[in-house]
Amino acid sequence: MDVPDNPDTTSHFPNEIIAEILENVVHTEFASMQDLIEPGHYASKWTLILSICRRWSEIALASPDIWSSIHLCWPRDIVITFLRRSQSAPLSVALNQDFVQDFLAAAFDDVPLDAGHTVLALGRMRKLNVEWNVRMGYGEFLLNITQAPAIDWQGSLALLSHFRSRNILFTPDTLMFVPESLRYANIGPADVGIHIIDFLSTTPVLHTLELEERIDDDSIPLPAGFTFPPNVPPTPLHSLKRLRIGWMQTEYLNQILPRISCPAVSHISLSIKRDEYSTVLESLPLSCIDDFRSSTALSIFGDPWNRFSTNPESPFIIHWTTPSATPGADPDAIEHRVEFNEWDAGEHRWDEMDHIFYDLTSDAYSCVHLTRLNLSITRLPYPTLLFKFLTPLVKLEELIVRVVHVAPLLVVLDPRNSDRPNLICPALIKIDLRKSAFEPSDLAEVLEEREARECGVKELKITIGEQLQEANVPVHDLQGLREIFDKIRGSVEVYEAEEGGWIANEHMEEVL
């Protein structure tokens, strides 16, 4: 956020508004707090807000929250200054491998403020971000930070609600660190041993758990001794609402997911590093397959058409919603989002997308309960495969398609192209084809035929591409085109048409 060049223009602002502006200037996201170690952070942002004018400087110095983000590897005088100015405000603290025990003991001796020192009170710590370059045991980590006389690490973290760590191995010693107020935890998956489950079970208000690892070209190893003993019941995390794990192999997920019971969870996000030659759906964890097959809403995102137009780390994303089994809960309460990496440099995305549909037609992955389907995949499969996929979806009410051309879909939805007495997707009442190219006459005929069989579409959304916009249509064809669109409009109750580009003329990420 930029500070106004001329503070006189804000002279009428209340002090509270200016303090909020300054807090936004110096704000650092919790996940990025290790960046505070860079001199540019404490030497520029805070210097800037103190140099604008006298009034703004006085407001900044009187606003403890502005000084409440601290990296313990800063120079000693900087840390002490921030601790003083933050007064009694809750602290967000970062430390890394450069954190030196001797420095800590010297900087935070239990000496009165008037003697030129101050105390780091862990009872004020609300957020803690810890990162080591070399993996170390949790006991060794504790040994590095608990020698200062002013700090009582155990039992003094009453306010700690956010915790993020990298390269700190969680072992039985972890149980020394059990803040009951912890609501958010972000831990590297490779650091997570079997005891992480016991640790998490002691945090009664844990809302969000992220076991997060960056993806790279090397295989991410399973933690040593990670296999859980057999016949051990799942550990309940009663308050957990959001669970994110990845990037990790399916083997890791098959180990940890069955060990966690999350009765109140509403969002699960997984990033899966696939084994070579495994298809997308084959990489789903075993514990997710039943939920997947029970889904009522399914979205598939992928782009085999242009390998450079989606994120190369996750070219395939599947999102589904499953009815909650919890009595009295929202019937569509549990959302799953799973992203899959590339294993062949994108050379076979076209085939891989077809494999997704082949798997969806099998008994192992069929989703016959769908009421909503989103296919944002650039290219639809051939009509024969699409027909086999859509035939069981007798409950489908809403269909969203983002593809280069919807011709295969119109072939399948046209009742005249089926030798079966029942229509494909007989409950379908909403179709959204925005950004997808279509042939107007084909669309008009499909809508007319379905309406004649009393399975008409009620709502239609389309994009009128440049090729169909009146300014680009020859005069001798214009009247006929208008009549076709009048026919389309008259076949539905709700009609939305926008002028714009089709996927064929745009990058996929602009469409998704």
Q: What is the pLDDT of residue 371?
A: 95
Centre a 10 Å sphere on the Cβ of residue 5 and count the other Cβ atoms it contains. 8
- 400 has a pLDDT exceeding 90: yes
Residue for token digits 């650039």? 378
Confidence of residue 315 (pLDDT cuts 50, 70, 90): confident
Asked whether residue 395 is assigned to any structural domain, the reply reads yes
Helices (H), 423-470: 440-452
Maximum CA pair distance of the chain?
92
Asked whether residue 11 is assigned to any structural domain, the reply reads no
Q: What is the pLDDT of residue 391?
A: 94
Asked whether residue 124 is assigned to any structural domain, the reply reads no
Confidence of residue 306 (pLDDT cuts 50, 70, 90): very low
List CB contacts of 289: < 8 A, sequence separation 6 or more.
364, 365
Q: What is the pLDDT of residue 492?
A: 94
In total, how many domains does the chain have?
1
Taking residues 329-358, what's their average pLDDT?
A: 76
- % of the chain at pLDDT higher than 70: 70
pTM, entire model: 0.79
What is the C-alpha to C-alpha distance for residues 107 and 411, in angstroms, rounded to an integer? Answer: 74
Strand pairing class (235-236; 260-261): parallel
- 203 has a pLDDT exceeding 80: no
Asked whether residue 396 is assigned to any structural domain, the reply reads yes
For 217-239, the pLDDT digits (tens) are 444 555 555 566 677 778 788 88
What is the C-alpha to C-alpha distance for residues 437 and 403, in angstroms, rounded to an integer? Answer: 8
Ranked by mean pLDDT, the top range of 73-82, 136-145, 405-414 is 405-414
Structural domain of residue 426, as residue ranges? 370-511
More confident residue, 435 or 222: 435
Q: Which of 77-81, 93-97, 155-159, 275-279 has the lowest mean pLDDT?
A: 155-159
For 39-58, the pLDDT digits (tens) are 666 667 788 888 888 888 88
Asked whether residue 311 is assigned to any structural domain, the reply reads no
Q: What is the DSSP letter of 331?
A: T
Asked whether residue 289 is assigned to any structural domain, the reply reads no
For 470-493, the pLDDT digits (tens) are 656 666 677 888 899 999 999 999
Asked whether residue 435 is assigned to any structural domain, the reply reads yes
Q: What is the pLDDT of residue 266?
A: 80
Q: What is the pLDDT of residue 22?
A: 84
Asked whether residue 263 is assigned to any structural domain, the reply reads no
